[in-house]
């Protein structure tokens, strides 16, 4: 998949975040793997220089699911978070897969997080990820 064609990834690129200090979490990795064809928004977990850059772009506030702060940009299309639930941000960011030069959370981690949340939309994603992984991907 060519992520440059995706409007959300063009918006992300315009932020010029340091590549080693952020990762795409949430459902973004599903798009990178071709499990989804669209996304409503991008969840970006940032640390260090990437979080510092985000602070120049917006004002942090508590994230809806708790645990961390977030900065919402581009009319809600991009959410930059200074952590991911109660996981260590560095560990989340340092475990990654690369697609088109961008770090993404591994599907196994996405599956773990979605099982933990257990929302209706997460259940659909869990089924889709399991099908994808069971097909040998």
> What is the mean pLDDT of the segment spanning 90-108?
95
What is the pTM for the complete model shown? 0.93
Q: What is the pLDDT of residue 74?
A: 95
Q: Is it true that domain 3-106 has CATH number 3.40.640.10?
A: no
* CA–CA gap between residue 44 and residue 50 (Å, rounded): 10
Q: Which phi and psi angles does 28 have, rounded to 5°?
A: -55, -45
- Per cent of the chain over pLDDT 70 is 99
* Residue range 90-114: mean pLDDT, rounded: 94
Share of the chain above pLDDT 90, in %: 85
What is the arithmetic mean of pLDDT over 38-64?
A: 97
| pLDDT, mean over the chain | 94
Residue carrying structure tokens 């850059």? 53
| Cα–Cα dist 28/107, whole Å | 10
Report the pLDDT value the prediction gives residue 1, as an integer from 0 to 100: 66
**In the prediction, which pLDDT does 80 show?**
98
Rounded to an integer, the average pLDDT of 80-100 is 93
Measured over the CA atoms of residue 58, residue 97, residue 124 and residue 89, the dihedral's sign is: negative
């Amino acid at each position: 998949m060519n992520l440059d064609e995706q409007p959300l990834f063009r918006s992300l690129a315009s932020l010029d975040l340091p590549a080693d200090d952020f990762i795409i979490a949430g459902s973004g990795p599903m798009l990178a793997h071709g499990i989804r064809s669209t996304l409503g928004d991008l969840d970006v977990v940032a640390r260090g220089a990437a979080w510092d850059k985000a602070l120049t772009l917006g004002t942090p506030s508590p994230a809806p699911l708790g645990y961390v702060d977030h900065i919402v940009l581009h009319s809600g299309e991009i959410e930059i978070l200074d952590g991911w639930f109660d996981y260590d941000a560095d560990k989340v960011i340092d475990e990654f897969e690369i697609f088109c030069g961008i770090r993404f959370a591994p599907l196994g981690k996405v599956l773990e997080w979605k099982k933990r949340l257990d929302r209706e939309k997460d259940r659909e994603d869990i089924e889709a990820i399991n099908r994808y992984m069971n097909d040998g991907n």
